[in-house]
Structure 1
Amino acid sequence: MRYSTFISYNHKDRRWAQWIHRELERYRLPKALIGRSSPVGVLDRRLPPVFQDREELAASTNLASSVQEALRQSHTLIVICSSNGAKSKWVNEEVRQFAALGRRDRIQCLIVPEADPRGEPPPEVDILPPALLELGDEPLAADARKTGDGKRAAFLKLVAGIIDVRYDDLRQREHARRQRQLLMLATAASAGFIVMAGLTIFAFVSRADAVRQRDVARQQTLAAQRTTDFVKGLFQVSDPSEAKGRSITALEVLDRGAREIQGQLANEPDVKAELISTLSEVYTGLGSYRRADSLIRAALSLPVTRDETRARQIGVFAASQALQANYDAAVSNFNIALRKIEKPAELQDPSLYSRLLIGKAEALAALDRYDEALAASKTALKWDGEREGFNSENVARDFEAIGLTSQYARDLAASRTSYEKALAIRLAVNGRLHPIVSQDLNDVGTAAYLQRDTAAAERFWRSALAIDEQILGPNHPDLGNLLNNLGRVSLEQRKYAQAAALLTRSEQLYLSQRNDTHDDLAFVFSNLALAKDGLGATREAEDLFGRALRAAEVHNNRLIAPIMVDLADLRCRRHDFKTALSDLAKAAPLMKKQYPTDPWRMAWVGNTRGACLLAQGNPAGRALIRASSPLVLDRWKKDTDYGAKAEARLQNAI
């Protein structure tokens, strides 16, 4: 969501709205809260933007669309309660709309001072908008009146409600911060004395710095020792009969570690945070994405003191969000993590800087922000190349990210070149039997496929699948992408039963660790729908097309139009002509916009429309089929799925 809060008010209370807006925008959260998970995301120094201004609305029955969208994009609602607000139609409507979004528990009231014409404060029943009273539950309230909380305390109550912390905790941290500010002022007043005692202080500071460096070294040694002890402990079995002759899997070892670490290292939060980040990354590597996400989320509340440790934590969390296709949030959190690193060269682990850049780049590429993604990837490549030379694993990873972004941007030659550079490095450094080598084979295969080199693509993909099944096992979710790619090739060759088997397995692996609107599933569901349709299972195919369309629409995926066309084709063959022709009319402008360099795509829309009209008994369909078939058959041979369909329609149009 874009806004931390939406301020609802009557225009007569604009002064109070401007006050709370200004205070929220410039408020700096206490340092101890930064990096914590909250309803508005991982907390940074400042809150996300606040929505206040709205034009006076005309006398209509609905809120303006811009205001409705702002309400949807707001985590909380602050209602300025006064006699003016209680009479406002729009304040009432904003409260109702926000509650209808399922966020009634995120509504807060700010009661502001005013007096009625007799000089008496109005009764509270007259200052609450009726919509608030209709909700039943008493909303959270902050009273800015002198007889209530007062302005400052009321403001802190609102902040506490927005970020979901106890008001007393926030008030105490605010008090401590003010005490530090007073101390700084007192220190400044003593500047003359400090100058006079400069040499003495310098000696003490030098000694203190030496002590600090010693303590840092001790802390790092302690962290290393704690890590070693913890990892050794994971593999110890206190009772020899515990295993009972069976092998202990890596996931069982991790689960044991995740349970045990919760009660350990309470006085060493940085060490604990580093260990949990590592456990989360290992869970991810083993394909247990949900457990990885749960573990790192819980660890964000640890009172970490080192910026590098916090940056790593937030980066692991952002990577988990990207795996669940929550790319906007991932980019935001990668940016937060990068801001924690002021001097990358001074990091204990300098590669953290480039890892965060690449994570951000991959999320940006998924959002079609290609220029930003390439810039971040190239910054990482320069950083790693200068530090490690251009044949290191980190450099290979950077080339992989550049290849991915170039692929999304349809620069296929650059994509394949980057992937091949990465693959050469991986083979030299990691050897053939390594999961990352399989991933690079998959990526090179994808680039070859997009260049219409299908035979090469299938060779690369089958090599990758053989490695993955040997190294990761048959049930790792990373196999889902490869199985989808091979299923697509089988589908295009009209081997529908083989395609359906591969794609069903891909679907199951994706759904084991991801939700059903993940962007990759738009491809899996639509391919499986085509395979099922080829096997005559049209009802099942229609349901799969619907699921594919939902996943594509959630991410505004460019696959929306192709799915709509294939679904329309199925509906035409089932004589649902009205729905099918409506779908084709909607798909045509989307297809033209999303595939400007693929003329066969628009031709396929016209070809399918022609077939639908002809099936309906409209002879105008013949001309459409005759005009569009050459472009389709120029792209697809007659023995392929699309080619065979186009040829059959052409024969029918004669």
Structure 2
Amino acid sequence: GELLTQSLEDSATQIVICSPAAAKSQWVNEEILTYKRLGRSARIFCLIVDGEPWASDKSGQEEQECFPHALRYEIGDDGELSDIRAEPIAADARLEGDGKVNARLKLISGMLGVGFDALKQREQHRRHQRMLVFTTAAFVGMAITSGLAVTAYLARIEAEEQRNRAQIEAETARQTTQFMVGLFEVSDPSEALGNTITAREILDKGAVRIEGELADQPEIQATLMDTMGTVYKSLGLYPEAVRLVDQSLQKRRELFGDQHPEVAQSLTHLGEVLTLDASYEEAEAHLREALVVRQDLFGESSAEVAETATDLADVLHRQGRYDDARLLILNALAYRRAVSSAPNTKVAESLEDLGLNDYEQGQYEQAVPVLREALKMRRELHGETHPDLAESINNLAWALLDQGELEEAEALYREALTMKRLLLGDQHPELANGINNIGYVLELRGDLAAAETAYRESLAMNRELLGDDHPESAAVMSNLAFVLYAKGETEEAVATLRDVFSIRRRAFGEEHPATASTATSLGFWLVGRGEYEEAESLLIESLAARRKLLGNEHPLTAGTLTVLSNLTAETGRFDEALAYATEAQQILSQNLPDDHWRIAAAKHVQGLALAGSGKYAAAEPLLLASLVGLEQAPIPHLAADSRQRVAEFYTAWGRPEEAAKYQPRE
């Protein structure tokens, strides 16, 4: 009636508790329909506690439907439900979904206008950076459909497991929600810095209030510090996030001691944000402590242990410790599959981690199908637009691009970038990453000017959000350096890559895949400039690191061997050059298609080494065969330089007519 309508009009958010009982309730359906008629469909949030979404579409499972009818369809211009399917925004409190803790955080984040990201962000070459939705928002109240407060419901679930803490949990949840809603109560326009208050202003205001107003309620204070720190992390504001989550950890240690679930939660969250801030040693220490605590409290096989093991695998992966990371990933995946055979977000997360980790180890054939499986699962779970779906798309695109599947990779990258702009707005580290990826596609297509523009936009955003010396900034700088080199701006390119090498060496040390990669690239350029002594030092360092980190059979190890073989050929050490090039060719032939340009590059140097030793007849077929593959190389001028070398080869052999065929045309 009028009272219900007025109550809904006064509420800027409606939260629907979704279960089979709610789906059958006429009153729940009417409240949702009334709220949609107010034009507020986008402010309806769902909490799934039982049943299955969209089960009504599946024969024999109709009774398990948890979404009320009014949730499932868009409202038409006539104020009635249409036949157009809606996409409800939902947090899933079930074990196979988000779990109770993440579901609560997602709802609070929804009230903030920030879609909570339960998964982990990854650096540029691992593509595991998850996204949050940020909007400029201010609201005064909220409506909770079906007569239950979300926090009270979650507290009741906790009470069933730990009845002795039920009242504390309920009060903490009540005051947490009350505090978060209170952040948006701006009755006096002068309280806001502008016409509307931004998400960042709300968070800063809340952080000050938490520290000042809740000193006599340390448990609630610690909970809010942890929650707000998580949201700061989502904004890419890592120093602020570290400060709040660390304060939460210290308060929880004082309240509960070291062996407590909330202490383990803070340790895990602190490890996550330190990972994103590239403080890997600190992150690993906190995550290992959290893992031990959770194993003691919950046992080896539990959702909590799987979560922390996944985070620990991430930080080990970033340090290039792929074997250790893989073991943790497999354990988490096995547990998550055992819990539920149905597609779910946790299994998708573990599949992505496994696929990317295998890819870094050169296991291409098994990595790409795993990433495809993860993406298929994400599409089934999330529909058309979702932060986790965008990241899964990004993951597969990266792997395909490196395999030469440019068309499919570009389509996926552009789909992901469109989604990111919609979800993230104009300033976010993950948006910067998406722009960087498009720059790489443009570079491969030969549009160097457009690629440079994209890289510079991405770099400016990363520097503003993360700082000049962050590994993400270095990753984009590296791509920019390669475009500059391709444009012939070699001085700026070399200087930029030197800066990248310095940043990565400081951040990761010498024995890290990113540092080794930069050393190889810089060494390659220095060989072309005739700066052999510095180049050889870099290449030997890179080769040692790659043999240790990746093994002797990895394609990237072969890449360094190829460059080193080129250097030794240039300096007249033909036996060394032949040995390096032959080892590289054998490794690459085991991992890549026969016509891949990297194999051609190794064969080319084999031919040069044989020619340098006077073995022209043996060198000729290798040199000629290599030219076809090198035409496909993404490295600027490599094909042209190789043809020039063949011309020089024939000249040295005394066959000027053959040499003329390979001379550059005027």
> Structure 2 length normalisation: TM-score?
0.59
Partner of 1:419: 371
In the alignment, the residues of structure 2 paired with residue 490 and residue 633 of structure 1 have an alpha-carbon distance, to the nearest angstrom, of 24
Of structures 1 and 2, the one scoring higher in RCO (CA 8 A, sep 6+) is: 2
The SS at the match of 2:233 is helix
In the alignment, the residues of structure 2 paired with residue 314 and residue 522 of structure 1 have an alpha-carbon distance, to the nearest angstrom, of 28
Mapped contact 1:629–1:650 kept (Cα < 8 A): no
Counterpart amino acid of residue 200 in structure 2: L
Note the 1:540-551 alignment, pairs <5 A: 540-551=492-503
Structure 1 residues 653 and 385, CA gap change in structure 2 (3 angstroms) = closer
Structure 1 residue 572 displacement after superposition: 5.4
Q: Does 1:432 align with 2:384?
A: yes
Mapped contact 1:549–1:564 kept (Cα < 8 A): yes
Partner of 1:483: 435
Structure 1 residue 458 displacement after superposition: 1.8
Mapped contact 2:524–2:563 kept (Cα < 8 A): no
In the alignment, the residues of structure 1 paired with residue 537 and residue 640 of structure 2 have an alpha-carbon distance, to the nearest angstrom, of 24
Residue 304 (structure 1) aligned to one of 255, 265, 278: 255
In the alignment, the residues of structure 2 paired with residue 589 and residue 385 of structure 1 have an alpha-carbon distance, to the nearest angstrom, of 38
Partner of 2:423: 471
Partner of 1:313: 266
In the alignment, the residues of structure 2 paired with residue 596 and residue 243 of structure 1 have an alpha-carbon distance, to the nearest angstrom, of 60
Structure 1 residues 232 and 518, CA gap change in structure 2 (3 angstroms) = same
In the alignment, the residues of structure 1 paired with residue 294 and residue 544 of structure 2 have an alpha-carbon distance, to the nearest angstrom, of 45
In the alignment, the residues of structure 1 paired with residue 298 and residue 517 of structure 2 have an alpha-carbon distance, to the nearest angstrom, of 47
The SS at the match of 2:213 is coil
**Stretch deviating more after TM superposition (459-468 or 379-388):** 379-388
Deviations 1:535-555 (A, max 9, x none): 333332122111221233342
Q: Does 1:641 align with 2:592?
A: no
Mapped contact 1:321–1:329 kept (Cα < 8 A): yes
Q: Does 1:338 align with 2:331?
A: no
**Stretch deviating more after TM superposition (469-478 or 363-372):** 363-372
Partner of 2:188: 239
Structure 1 residues 337 and 558, CA gap change in structure 2 (3 angstroms) = closer
Partner of 2:221: 272
Partner of 1:391: 343
Partner of 1:357: 309
Counterpart amino acid of residue 327 in structure 1: Y
Mapped contact 1:607–1:625 kept (Cα < 8 A): no
Partner of 1:14: none
Structure 1 residue 272 displacement after superposition: 1.9
Q: Does 1:259 align with 2:208?
A: yes
Structure 1 residue 329 displacement after superposition: 2.5
Partner of 1:295: 244
Mapped contact 1:499–1:531 kept (Cα < 8 A): yes
Structure 1 residue 468 displacement after superposition: 0.6
Unpaired runs of 5+ in structure 1? 1-209, 615-620
Partner of 1:493: 445
Structure 1 residues 505 and 404, CA gap change in structure 2 (3 angstroms) = same
In the alignment, the residues of structure 1 paired with residue 568 and residue 411 of structure 2 have an alpha-carbon distance, to the nearest angstrom, of 36
Q: Does 1:329 align with 2:282?
A: yes
Structure 1 residue 244 displacement after superposition: 7.7
Greater C-alpha Rg: 1
Structure 1 residues 590 and 643, CA gap change in structure 2 (3 angstroms) = farther
Mapped contact 1:561–1:588 kept (Cα < 8 A): yes
Q: Does 1:410 align with 2:362?
A: yes
Mapped contact 2:631–2:639 kept (Cα < 8 A): no
Q: Does 1:596 align with 2:553?
A: yes
Mapped contact 1:448–1:457 kept (Cα < 8 A): yes
Structure 1 residues 557 and 516, CA gap change in structure 2 (3 angstroms) = farther
Partner of 1:650: 643
Q: Does 1:563 align with 2:512?
A: no
Deviations 1:346-388 (A, max 9, x none): 99xx744322121011112223333332232233233333445
Structure 1 residues 351 and 272, CA gap change in structure 2 (3 angstroms) = farther
Structure 1 residue 336 displacement after superposition: 0.8
Counterpart amino acid of residue 606 in structure 1: S
Mapped contact 2:272–2:283 kept (Cα < 8 A): yes
Mapped contact 1:403–1:416 kept (Cα < 8 A): yes
Residue 371 (structure 1) aligned to one of 307, 314, 323: 323
Counterpart amino acid of residue 567 in structure 1: L
Mapped contact 1:636–1:643 kept (Cα < 8 A): no
Structure 1 residues 610 and 479, CA gap change in structure 2 (3 angstroms) = farther
Mapped contact 1:290–1:513 kept (Cα < 8 A): no
Residue 167 (structure 2) aligned to one of 185, 198, 218: 218
Unpaired runs of 5+ in structure 2? 1-158, 574-604, 612-618, 648-666
Partner of 2:608: 623
In the alignment, the residues of structure 2 paired with residue 625 and residue 247 of structure 1 have an alpha-carbon distance, to the nearest angstrom, of 72
Structure 1 residues 353 and 271, CA gap change in structure 2 (3 angstroms) = farther
Structure 1 residues 263 and 445, CA gap change in structure 2 (3 angstroms) = same
**Stretch deviating more after TM superposition (571-580 or 550-559):** 571-580
Mapped contact 2:352–2:371 kept (Cα < 8 A): yes
The SS at the match of 2:294 is coil
Counterpart amino acid of residue 223 in structure 2: E
> Structure 1 length normalisation: TM-score?
0.60
Deviations 1:445-468 (A, max 9, x none): 112123332222222111111111
Counterpart amino acid of residue 486 in structure 2: G
Mapped contact 1:545–1:567 kept (Cα < 8 A): yes
Structure 1 residue 584 displacement after superposition: 5.1
Mapped contact 1:591–1:602 kept (Cα < 8 A): no
Structure 1 residues 525 and 262, CA gap change in structure 2 (3 angstroms) = same
Structure 1 residue 342 displacement after superposition: 4.7
Structure 1 residues 501 and 613, CA gap change in structure 2 (3 angstroms) = farther
Mapped contact 2:354–2:367 kept (Cα < 8 A): yes
Counterpart amino acid of residue 308 in structure 2: L
In the alignment, the residues of structure 1 paired with residue 238 and residue 626 of structure 2 have an alpha-carbon distance, to the nearest angstrom, of 41
Deviations 1:554-586 (A, max 9, x none): 423334455344434544565655544655565
The SS at the match of 2:428 is coil
Note the 1:66-145 alignment, pairs <5 A: none
Structure 1 residues 585 and 312, CA gap change in structure 2 (3 angstroms) = closer
Partner of 1:381: 333
In the alignment, the residues of structure 2 paired with residue 526 and residue 339 of structure 1 have an alpha-carbon distance, to the nearest angstrom, of 38
Structure 1 residues 372 and 318, CA gap change in structure 2 (3 angstroms) = same
In the alignment, the residues of structure 2 paired with residue 501 and residue 561 of structure 1 have an alpha-carbon distance, to the nearest angstrom, of 27
Residue 606 (structure 1) aligned to one of 565, 568, 583: 565
In the alignment, the residues of structure 1 paired with residue 452 and residue 248 of structure 2 have an alpha-carbon distance, to the nearest angstrom, of 41
In the alignment, the residues of structure 2 paired with residue 453 and residue 633 of structure 1 have an alpha-carbon distance, to the nearest angstrom, of 21
Structure 1 residues 501 and 305, CA gap change in structure 2 (3 angstroms) = same
In the alignment, the residues of structure 1 paired with residue 625 and residue 462 of structure 2 have an alpha-carbon distance, to the nearest angstrom, of 35
The SS at the match of 2:635 is helix
Partner of 1:284: 233
Counterpart amino acid of residue 308 in structure 1: P
The SS at the match of 2:266 is helix
Structure 1 residues 378 and 581, CA gap change in structure 2 (3 angstroms) = closer
Counterpart amino acid of residue 336 in structure 2: D
Counterpart amino acid of residue 500 in structure 1: E
Deviations 1:480-536 (A, max 9, x none): 333333333333333322221222223233333435454445542222111112233
